[in-house]
Amino acid sequence: MARRKFIIANWKMNGSLELVQTMSQTLRDKIKLNHPPCQVVLCCPDPYFSELQKALQGSLIQIGAQHIHHKESGAFTGEISVLMLKDLKIPYCIVGHSERRSHFAETDDMVHTKTQLLVQHDIHPVICIGETLEQRQAGIHEETVIMQMVKALQKIQHQDWPKVILAYEPVWAIGTGKTATPEQANEMHSVIRKQLHNLTAPEIADKVPILYGGSANGANAKELLSKPEIDGLLIGGASLKPQEFLSMVMAV
């Protein structure tokens, strides 16, 4: 089953106006010329949305957010809302990243609420799931990841499934230089896919893209992407280096 491929950059709390320009410049022409068989999405920090939109205008590259609040509006100083993303025509948003879960106490319930809000407003949630090193060593990595996924996707409506993107990001691999082996990632993606089949009809489950994230870089992208269950990459550190990021897009 051919699924859509994605290369998604997660700049985290990094970047500058200069990076907005150099990244856009580097990607624009190449991506136009080569028509890569993947959707490229840049999840930049909120203050750069407008500049990045301008810099990417007319290109095939899309913009994503890294976070929304679980309410639509209100007295939540410093937060941003799904309605703002909609207003700005931002079509993707990361949810449940392990850094949000650990540093900002984002719970499975919040991930569920945010996922619902995003799909209701026609924004693609990029739902991050992944186990810690302790959970892997204790042999509970599969059930941990499945539980996170099931909680995020419970009660999702039939028509909203095509908006969903999953990202398997083992916490021990994020920013550590320790990538899951392509085999480890492929194996977990198969477990996730199997569980998707328990949640919805096979023709829907088979279409949900499952990306890998965690120390993916220019050197390992090709091998990771060669695995049948890996439908793309969610990239942190290496997404801040325009040439390396471009090479990962070209590796699809």
Binding site for ligand PGA (CB under 6 A): 10, 169, 174-175, 213-216, 234-238
Dmax over CA atoms of the chain, in Å, equals 49
The least distance separating ligand PGA from the CB of residue 9, rounded to whole angstroms, comes to 9
Nearer to ligand PGA, 21 or 218 (CB): 218
Instruction: Give the other-Cβ count within 10 Å of 169's Cβ.
Output: 28
**Which residue, 89 or 178, has its beta carbon nearer to ligand PGA?**
178
* 154 vs 176, beta carbon nearer ligand PGA: 176
Lookup: tokens for 131:
């186990």
For the CB of residue 155, give the shortest distance to ligand PGA in the complex, in Å. Answer: 26
**Distance of alpha carbon 49 from the chain centroid:** 17
Q: How far is the CB of 236 from ligand PGA (least distance, A)?
A: 2
**CB 185 within 8 Å of CB 230:** yes
Burial (CB < 10 A; 0-12, 13-18, 19+), residue 141, is buried
- Least Å distance, CB 117 to ligand PGA, is 21
Closer Cβ to ligand PGA, 39 or 205, answer by number: 39
Residue 154 structure tokens: 């419970």
Nearer to ligand PGA, 31 or 180 (CB): 180
Q: Say which DSSP state 194 is in.
A: H
**Distances, alpha carbon 241 to alpha carbons 18, 19, 26, 76, 137, in Å:** 12, 9, 10, 33, 33
Task: Pick the closest to residue 248 from 238, 236, 240 (CA basis).
Answer: 238
* Residue number of the CB atom closest to ligand PGA: 236
Decide if 216 contacts 195 (C-beta within 8 A): no
Active-site positions read: 97, 169
Q: Least distance (Å) from ligand PGA to the CB of residue 242?
A: 15
How far is the C-alpha of 116 from the C-alpha of 113, rounded, in Å?
A: 5
Residue placing its CB nearer to ligand PGA in the complex, 136 or 205: 136
CB of 174 to ligand PGA, least distance (A): 4
Place of tokens 């320790």: 178
58/81 Cα distance (integer angstroms): 26
